[in-house]
Amino acid sequence: MNGQPAVSASAPGKMIILGEHSVVYGKPAVALAINKRFYCRVSRSGEMILNGRRVPAFVHPHISSVINDNGLSGISMDAGTQIPTSSGLGSSAALSSSLSLAVRKLLGKETDQESIAKDAFNAEWNAQGRASPIDTSTCTHGGGVALNCPAGIGRELWRISRNDRSWNVSEFDVPEMTFVVGHTGIKAPTGPLVEKVRKYKEHNRFASDIIDEIGLVTLQGMNAIRRRDKEDLGDIMTRNHKLLSILGVSCNELNKLVNASLPYSYGAKLTGSGGGGSMIALTDQPEKVCEAISLRGGRPIVVRTGEEGVRLEEGLPETIDCI
Ligand code: MEV
């Protein structure tokens, strides 16, 4: 780096198991942190330096939002990731959350999870035009996180409001379960898909009904998780996928991977914003699901849940992809 004192941090990726898109409109959602992380190391600089190269300050909206919110106009940042980008697995949220912790530590500011989750949500909002805190709160807190769950379910962590929307963020106890992620290999940034749903909803009453229905299905899924009922949860995930398809955010490649997984799974659905990116399957037969996904041209990863949230690191791991 530039000889200045440096701080390193990391945050996990996430997978949404129920409720993406409808959560933007204040409906409930559930997400889990996964064992793939984003790493960054920062030191003070008057300009924006990314992995040793000077870049325009606006080149990465999440980075500029976090550093501006913390009163800086530039930073020297080295970064690398295990989370495929634009894959529905929270790469931008993990970047924002880890960067917020590193910058706050560097500046001697508060490093509590709520402040970090709020910085990261702001970055997501600024970059996407509209967002919910599901990705950023999950990458910050780790484990299992539910938004807008009924009282008595989960332990409330913080509340985030923006314009006319408000989200209650809670820690949600999700038992150990095996998920396979299938990446289509198609990069699909979140912003345009969120915008597509917004336009559909604005022009068509039917889209609002689908969003309401996803909210109801998600509440049923939360109850299935509390009952530890994988059969029911799987059925609900598959119903959630069908509703997301009707909303126009799935694609042939995602549908192919979901259908290929179903014979060996409790249920399967796209995860994140869709349009490409990834799907997930809840299964006790991960090898069979991986094989089915590979045969259809997808890239399978068996993920571990229960991953720790944002944290300080000694430095960057030696073997990670640069962003
Ligand atoms: C993206 O991972 C999840 C969406 O619901 C957008 C958001 O909540 O900000 C599609």
For residue 66 and ligand 1, the question of a CB distance below 6 A is answered with no
Q: Ligand 1 centroid to 133 CA: how many Å?
A: 8
Q: Are 87 and 26 in contact (CB under 8 A)?
A: no
CB atoms within 10 A of CB 21: 29
- Label residue 57 by pLDDT band (50, 70, 90): confident
Segment 100-152, tens digit of pLDDT:
999 999 999 999 999 999 999 999 999 988 999 999 999 999 999 999 999 88
**Confidence (pLDDT) at 1:** 61
CA 194 to ligand 1: nearest atom: 10
Task: Please work out whether the CB of residue 132 comes within 6 Å of at least one atom of ligand 1.
Answer: yes
User: Among 78, 119, 135, 232, which one carries the catalytic annotation?
Assistant: 135
Query: What is the structure's pLDDT at 2?
Result: 66
Q: Does 21 contact ligand 1 (Cβ within 6 A)?
A: yes
Ligand 1 neighbourhood includes 131 CB (under 6 angstroms): yes
Return the minimum-mean-pLDDT range out of 86-90, 259-263, 290-294, 308-312: 86-90
CA-CA-CA-CA torsion for 192, 102, 172, 92, nearest 10 degrees? 10
Query: Measured between alpha carbons, how far is 264 from 214 in angstroms, rounded to an integer?
Result: 24
pTM: 0.96
Across 163-170, average pLDDT: 94
Select from 247, 305, 223, 241 the least CA-distant residue to 278.
241
CA atoms within 13 A on the CB side of 153: 23
Residues in the chain: 323
